[in-house]
Amino acid sequence: MSPSTPVHEDKRSPMLALGILSISFLMSVNNAVSGTIPLMEKYFSDVSRANVELLIVIPTGGVLLGTVISGLVSNLLGKKYTVIAGLSISLVFGIIPAFIFNYPAILISRAMFGVGMGIFTPLSVSYITDLFPEETRNRLLGWRNSVGAIGDSIMLFIAGFLINISWHTTYLVFLFLLVPILLVIFFVPKHYDNIVSEDGKEVEEDVKVKP
């Protein structure tokens, strides 16, 4: 579509909206493993309770760092690959405690999990504001919080089954990150029409996302 084409209706693919909303599906994903703390306290008997509980808290610090660098990474890679990179970082480091039982390694993996979350989460909002006209935009922003709550519930449900096996396997719940990764890869384009405002009217401006 040529630059400055008036937007009369939203014709964007529902799968595009699903791909973008799937990023928000995991806003509170860290809550899914909070139930492992009592079991981890027993396993790491030589580690203080405060340090074990730090495993749940430290991702928040990682999120702050990831949020700070998200814009820089986005300028370098483009939004799509920044989201994929953030999701992939959270996936890889999120499941490490399922296979490595060393406390320092798990602590680092939890921090890096948060960094990944911080990288992709801010873009879930900017994608919506950039790609959709006002009516659809407002609706999707409202759905974003609901989708996050639903995702939190589903992850907690899955984690509830996994924790019955062991606290290690509970961290396999982060394999669910594959869902938004695949949706973003296949349904969120590298090239799109950006919704901008021109003289009080919404128009579509051709934008290329760095490959």
Please tell me the distance from the alpha carbon of residue 118 to that of residue 29, in angstroms, as a whole number.
12
CATH code for the domain of 65: 1.20.1250.20
193 beta partners: 206
pTM tops 0.85 = no
Q: Which residue is listed with tokens 């589903």? A: 154
Return the closest-CA partner of residue 33 out of 85, 97, 119, 105. Answer: 97
Q: Taking 70 as the threshold, does the pLDDT of residue 199 lie above it? A: no
Q: Where does the pLDDT of residue 192 fall: very low under 50, low under 70, confident under 90, or very high at 90 and above?
A: low
Domains in the chain, number: 1
Q: What domain range includes position 28?
A: 5-208
pLDDT tens profile 101-131: 999 999 999 999 999 999 998 898 888 888 8
- If phi > 0 it is left, if psi is from -120 to 50 it is alpha, else beta; for residue 171 that is alpha
